[in-house]
Amino acid sequence: MTDRYAVIGNPISQSKSPILHTAFARQFGHELQYDKLLATHEDFAQTVQRFIDEGGKGMNVTAPFKLAALEFADTLSDRARAAQAINTLKFSAEGVHGDNTDGVGLVSDIRDRLGVALENRRILIIGAGGAARGILLPLLEARPAHLLLVNRTESKAHELVEASGASRQIVAAGPLSAVEEGAFDVIINATSASLSDAHLPLERGVFAPDALAYDLVYGRGDTAFMSDARRLGAAHVADGLGMLVGQAAESYRLWFGRRPDVEPVMAMLR
C-alpha cells in the first residue's frame, strides 16, 4: 500500500510541501501519496483524526495550526516543547508524536549548505513571534558566542529568552534599538516586515566582516531586508527557501529514518 502523508493549514493552496516530499520520495524509491488538507480552527482535530483513521502515517502542520497541534499530540520532542509549536506529526501505534523541524532546517541551511559557521559567532534575531520561537533552541544548540533577540515589543523578546533557559552570558533580549550594541556575524530577520516590503531600523555597523543576512521569508526575490543588508555591508545574503527545504527534509527523516539530499530539490524550486 502507498503511504499517505499530508500538510494541513488555512490557506493551503500555496504550500510547496507536496512538491518537496514527492521529490524526496523519488530519491529513495518510496511510494508516497501526499495531500493538502484545508481545515478551520473548529474542525482541525476532527480533520487530523479522520486522516489517521484513513491510514495516514504523518502530517506537516502550517499556519495557523502549529499551536493547535500541541494539544492534539500525545508526546512532544524537546524542540517542539521549547518552541511551543508543532510543524510535524508522526502517527503510530504508540500515538501521535509532535516535533518542530523549523530550527533544524534553518541551522542545516546556514551551516551545511551555505557554509557559514554558527559556533562561537555573534547572532542577532530580529522578531520574537512564532518564527523566532521555532528557531531559538536549535540556534543556541549550535553554541554561538552570543545571541541577541530583539523585538519591537521588548517584553515579548524577554519572555522568549526567559523560556529558553539559556545562560545570560549566551543569550540576551532587548528592543530594536539594542542592535546598536555591536557587529554580528549572522543576522536573521524573523519578522513579517518583508511580506509588506517594510524596512527594519538597521545601521551600517551592525554587520561584522563576512556577515550573513538571512531572511526567513522566501519566494519574493530580494526583500527590503536583503537589499538593505547588502547596502550596509553584509557579505552574504539569503532568503528562507533553504530553511523551507531543510525543515521538510528533517520531517522526512523523522517519518522514514533517512534524510534526503536537499540540493537537487533546491535547484528544482529555484
pLDDT in tens, 165-187: 776 668 889 988 887 767 999 99
**Spans of all domains in the chain:** 3-100+243-269, 116-239
Is 60 labelled as part of a ligand binding site? no
The span from the CA of 10 to the CA of 14, in Å, is: 10
Helices (H), 114-213: 130-141, 154-164
| pLDDT for position 181 | 64
32-38/75-76 β-pairing: unpaired
What CATH number belongs to 116-239?
A: 3.40.50.720
195's grid cell: 511580506
* pLDDT tens-place string over residues 59-92: 999 989 999 999 999 999 999 998 889 999 999 9
| pTM score, whole prediction | 0.90
Superfamily of domain 3-100+243-269: Leucine Dehydrogenase, chain A, domain 1 (3.40.50.10860)
Q: Is 135 helix (H, G, I), strand (E, B) or coil?
A: helix
**Model confidence band, residue 245 (pLDDT cutoffs 50, 70, 90):** very high
Is 15 labelled as part of a ligand binding site? yes
The span from the CA of 71 to the CA of 54, in Å, is: 21
**Model confidence band, residue 220 (pLDDT cutoffs 50, 70, 90):** confident
What interhelical angle do 17-28 and 241-256 show, nearest 10?
A: 50
| pLDDT for position 168 | 67
Is 191 labelled as part of a ligand binding site? no
| pLDDT for position 1 | 65
The share of the chain scoring above pLDDT 70, in percent, equals 98
Burial (CB count <10 Å: 0-12, 13-18, 19+), residue 181:
middle
Q: In what order do the strands lie in the sheet with 75-76?
A: 32-38, 3-9, 56-61, 88-92, 95-99, 75-76
Q: Using alpha carbons, list the distances in angstroms from residue 135 to 6, 70, 90, 246.
A: 23, 17, 20, 13
Residue 140 confidence (pLDDT) above 80: yes
Q: What angle do CA 44, 30, 134 make, to 5 degrees?
A: 45
Is 16 labelled as part of a ligand binding site? yes
Is 95 labelled as part of a ligand binding site? no
**Model confidence band, residue 164 (pLDDT cutoffs 50, 70, 90):** confident
Catalytic site residue from 36, 57, 66, 90: 66
- 66 classed as catalytic: yes
121 φ/ψ angles, rounded to the nearest 5 degrees: -105, 160
Is 62 labelled as part of a ligand binding site? yes
Compute the average pLDDT of residues 16-20: 95
